[in-house]
Amino acid sequence: MARIAVIPGDGIGPEVVAVALRVLDALRDGAPDLEVELDTFPYGSDHYRRTGSLMDADGLERLAGYDAILFGAVGDREIPDHVTLWGLRLAIVQGFDQAICLRPARLFPGVRGPLAGRGPDDVDVVIVRENTEGEYSGAGGFSHRGLRNEVAVQTSVYTREAVERTARFAFELARSRPAKQLASVTKSNASLHASVLWDEVVADVAGDFPDVEWSSALVDAAAARLVLDPASFDVLVASNLHGDVLSDLTGALAGSLGMAPSANLCLDGSRPSMYEPVHGSAFDLVGRGVANPIGAVLSLAMMLEDLGHQAAAARVRGAVEDVCARGILTADVGGSASTDDVADALVAAVSSQTLEVAS
Distance from C-alpha of 211 to C-alpha of 65, rounded to nearest angstrom: 39
> Does the annotation mark 136 as catalytic?
yes
Q: Active-site residue among 10, 67, 124, 244?
A: 244
| Rounded to 5°, angle at Cα 245 from 240 and 250 | 120
Strands 36-40 and 213-218: unpaired
Q: Active-site residue among 10, 48, 67, 187?
A: 187
Q: Active-site residue among 208, 220, 229, 284?
A: 220
Distance from C-alpha of 257 to C-alpha of 282, rounded to nearest angstrom: 10
> Does the annotation mark 187 as catalytic?
yes
> Does the annotation mark 220 as catalytic?
yes
Phi first, then psi: give them for residue 150, nearest 5 degrees.
-60, 140
Where in 169-323 does DSSP place strands (E)? 181-186, 213-218, 235-238, 261-265, 273-277
Strands 100-106 and 68-73: unpaired
Distance from C-alpha of 187 to C-alpha of 216, rounded to nearest angstrom: 10
Where in the chain does DSSP place strands (E)? 2-9, 36-40, 68-73, 100-106, 124-130, 134-143, 151-157, 181-186, 213-218, 235-238, 261-265, 273-277
Exposure of 147 by Cβ count < 10 A (0-12 exposed, 13-18 middle, 19+ buried)?
exposed
Distance from C-alpha of 302 to C-alpha of 320, rounded to nearest angstrom: 13
Q: Active-site residue among 43, 48, 136, 275?
A: 136
Tell me the Ramachandran region of residue 152: left when phi exceeds 0, alpha when psi lies from -120 to 50, beta otherwise: beta
Length of the chain: 359
Q: Active-site residue among 248, 306, 322, 332?
A: 248
Distance from C-alpha of 298 to C-alpha of 278, rounded to nearest angstrom: 11
183: three-class secondary structure by DSSP: strand
348: three-class secondary structure by DSSP: helix
Distance from C-alpha of 21 to C-alpha of 39, rounded to nearest angstrom: 12
Active site residues: 136, 187, 220, 244, 248
